[in-house]
Copies of this chain bind each other. A is one copy, B any other.
Amino acid sequence: MVRKTKEDAELTRLAIIEAARAVFLARGVSRSTLEHIAAKADVTRGAVYWHFKNKTEIFHAIRDQVFLPLIDRMDDTLASESKDDPLTQIENSLCDTINELSRNIEMQQTYEIMMIKCEYVDEFATVLQQILNNCSNITEKIQLAYERASKKNLLAGSHSPRALAQDTHLFFSGLLHMWVKDFDGSRFRYQATELIKSHINLRRK
CB distance from A156 to the nearest CB of B (A): 7
For the complex formed by this chain, how many copies does it contain in all? 2
| Interface-side segment among A40-48, A76-84, A116-124 | A116-124
- Chain B residues with CB under 8 Å of A170's CB are 170-172, 174-175, 178, 195
Q: Per-residue CB proximity of A93-124 to B under 8 Å, as 1/0? A: 00000000000000000000000111111100
CB distance from A143 to the nearest CB of B (A): 13
Bin the interface of chain A by size: 35 or more
Pick from B29, B116, B174: contact of A128, CB below 8 A: B116
Chain B residue with the shortest CB-CB distance to A136: B187
- Chain B residues with CB under 8 Å of A175's CB are 170, 174
- A117 with B121: CB separation less than 8 A: yes
Q: Per-residue CB proximity of A16-31 to B under 8 Å, as 1/0? A: 0000000000111111
- Chain B residues with CB under 8 Å of A116's CB are 119-120, 128
CB distance from A165 to the nearest CB of B (A): 11
- A195 with B167: CB separation less than 8 A: yes
- A119 with B118: CB separation less than 8 A: yes
A-B contact pairs, 9 of them (CB 8 A): A29-B119, A116-B120, A117-B119, A132-B178, A132-B182, A167-B195, A170-B174, A173-B174, A174-B177
Supply 8 further A-B pairs (C-beta < 8 A) apart from A136-B187, A174-B174. A26-B121, A28-B30, A28-B121, A117-B121, A119-B119, A132-B178, A156-B156, A202-B203
Which residues of chain A have a CB within 8 Å of any CB of chain B? 26-31, 116-122, 128, 131-132, 135-136, 156-157, 159, 163-164, 166-167, 169-175, 177-178, 181-183, 187, 195, 198-199, 201-203
